[in-house]
Amino acid sequence: MRLGRPRSLPALALGALLGGIVPTGVVAQEAQPAPFCDLLTADEVAATLGFTPTISNSAARMCFYSHGDPTQADWIQFYTSASQDRIEDHRAQVEGGSDTEVSGRPAFARTDGRSSILWIQEGDQLRLTFEIMGALDESIDAASALVQLANIALPRIDERTVPPFTQDAGLESLFPERIGETPLTVQSMGARDLMAGGDVPQTFLDLLSAHGRSIEDVTVAFTSAYDAESAAMILISAIRVQGVDMPSVADEMRVVLLSEESPDSIQSPGEVAGKVVTIVSPYEDAPEEERQYTYASGDVLWLVVATEPALTEIFTHLP
């Protein structure tokens, strides 16, 4: 688990951003990809998208097919994910796009330059995301390619490839329902489920053990949205360790989360909406959109990325 710059939240697993928003720089687990990655093989992706991918995952219901260096212009990433919600919960967050159908299922599609996305409603509470980031060969139509891949993957969906969700309704209820005019959809799950069977860092397990807890006592929740008023993304994540007084262990928690990826991050005290926070910056004088605000309350550690005025509104709603 990692706490670093906003773009590395998916590697942390807390930032597995649903709703078609997955920042770059995803770091693969060393373990074998989760069964979710069996929905599409490397050969099937290569034949459809025209590049040979490296497969990795950072959550049990997410798979990445990447090609090239993410810092270079020729980098391409295709990813799939499953979330427990509905297309209409997110349609307002995406400009443009249109309703469609894929194999008789309701769907929503959008293509704009270097990004193409396809959402498919599978049943009442399962939304599948297929997205391409980066420029494909000019001979390949991205929107058609996504439909083709979706048609391959859909018949393979079962409880092995898309395991049942473990939710923490109590944790979800602590999130604000909306920020300004932007509705928020929250997803929660157990920490072990989120780690997709990969190795949980021993330092994190040791911290839990020192306070009489195990990974089974940990749940996480997250939401993301684009806030038009601040013209920036809102990212809110929460780690809950049931029965632990989080304000008393928050410093230890931050040390553990920062140790792997961002040991040189700068931490400074702050206050937002009357709440005492720790601001984590990747470097001196980092702009507001690159800072993370951590806040401990009850048995929850909150991680927030936002800019004003959304930042203050978020903290006004947190417990």
What domains can be seen in the chain, in order of their start residue? 19-84+86-124+127-156 (3.40.1000), 169-317 (no CATH)
pLDDT tens per residue across all 319 residues of the chain: 333 323 333 333 343 322 222 333 333 333 456 788 999 999 999 999 999 999 987 667 889 899 987 667 778 889 898 887 788 877 766 777 889 999 999 999 988 766 899 999 998 878 899 999 888 888 999 999 999 999 999 999 998 888 777 789 899 999 999 998 888 878 788 886 666 545 677 888 899 999 999 988 999 998 887 777 887 888 899 999 999 999 999 999 888 877 655 667 889 999 999 999 999 988 888 888 889 999 999 999 999 999 999 999 999 999 9
Whether the pTM exceeds 0.75: the reply is: no
Q: What pLDDT, in 10s, does the model give residues 101-137?
A: 999 999 999 887 668 999 999 988 788 999 998 888 8
Confidence (pLDDT) at 9: 32
- Through-space distance between the first and last CA atoms of the chain, rounded to whole angstroms: 24
Q: What pLDDT, in 10s, does the model give residues 223-247?
A: 887 777 887 888 899 999 999 999 9
Task: Give the 3-state secondary structure of 41-109.
Answer: CHHHHHHHHCCCCEEEEEECCEEEEEECCCCCCCCEEEEEEEECCCHHHCHHHCCCCEEEEECCEEEEE
CB 261 within 8 A of CB 10: no
